[in-house]
Chains A and B, each alone.
Chain A
Amino acid sequence: MNNQLRILRGMQKWSQSDLATRLGVSRQTVNAIETGRYDPSLPLAFKIAGLFTKPIEEIFTPEPLNGEASRA
């Protein structure tokens, strides 16, 4: 899953630690989400969306399925 978390965090001028504190998770978790190595749970995704007052689908977008990108 792709996400805009790093960009949104940058716009707020928050560090990963700042965001982690606001979300109630570890900095490691924020880093893993930003780098796309970990997909957050639905409750955490909603919390992130609520924090940035954006719909979830604006922050998290699914990766295209195999062959979808070439057909588009």
Chain B
Amino acid sequence: MLMESEIQEEPRESGLAKFKRSLKSNVWLFVATVTYLVTLFQLREHPEWSPMLRVALALLPVLPRLVFLWVLWGTFKALDELERRIQQEAWAVAFGGTVLVSTVMNVLSAHGTGFENYPHGLEIGGAYIAVFFFWCLGVAQAKAHYS
């Protein structure tokens, strides 16, 4: 049997480090949302601005979103194997669920049997909400399965 001193301890992210990482990602998500709303408002208020400026402003919120995704990726890499499995299953549920809902809406809309107000399916805002909803569902299901 190994002695206590001989046991190699694996460095693992502490609770504080996790909190800091989570805070960092939420701050960038907040920055992305605020930037999006400000640019949206400005572009509506100033239709006279040049097309180049409008394109630059429209794409501005992408930058904080990229940083947010980078932080999120770092969080994913810091997870252990079971936590990664839970996230993989949750994202599979999120992807499948969103595609399913979007397909149902499109089919019903195409046949005039409902969702006439949504001819383009979920669109980007609805897709975000659907992904989040199904991701929560997936995490809850996977956690219940493994605990």
CB distance from B9 to the nearest CB of A (A): 6
Q: Tell me how many residues of B have a C-beta within 8 Å of chain A.
A: 15
Q: Which of B2, B7, B147 contacts A28 (CB 8 A)?
A: B147
> Could you say which residues of chain B place their CB within 8 Å of the CB of A31?
147
Determine whether the beta carbon of A29 is less than 8 Å from that of B80.
yes
Query: How many pairs of residues, A versus B, come closer than 8 Å at their CB atoms?
Result: 48
Interface of B: prevailing SS: loop
What 1/0 mask marks residues of chain B from 72 to 94 whose CB sits below 8 Å from any chain A CB?
Answer: 00000000111101000000000
- On whether A29 and B83 interact (CB within 8 A), knowing A22-B10, A24-B11, the answer reads yes
Does A56 lie at the interface of the complex (its beta carbon under 8 Å from any beta carbon of B)?
no
Query: Which residues of chain B from 82 to 108 have any CB-CB distance to chain A below 8 Å in the complex?
Result: 82-83, 85
Interface residues on A, range: 10 to 19
A44-B80 Cα distance, complex, nearest whole Å: 10
Determine whether the beta carbon of A21 is less than 8 Å from that of B85.
no
7 closest Cβ pairs, A-B complex: A24-B10, A29-B82, A25-B80, A32-B146, A24-B12, A37-B146, A26-B80
Hey, which bits of chain A sit against chain B, CB under 8 A? 21-26, 28-29, 31-32, 37-38, 40-41, 44, 51-53
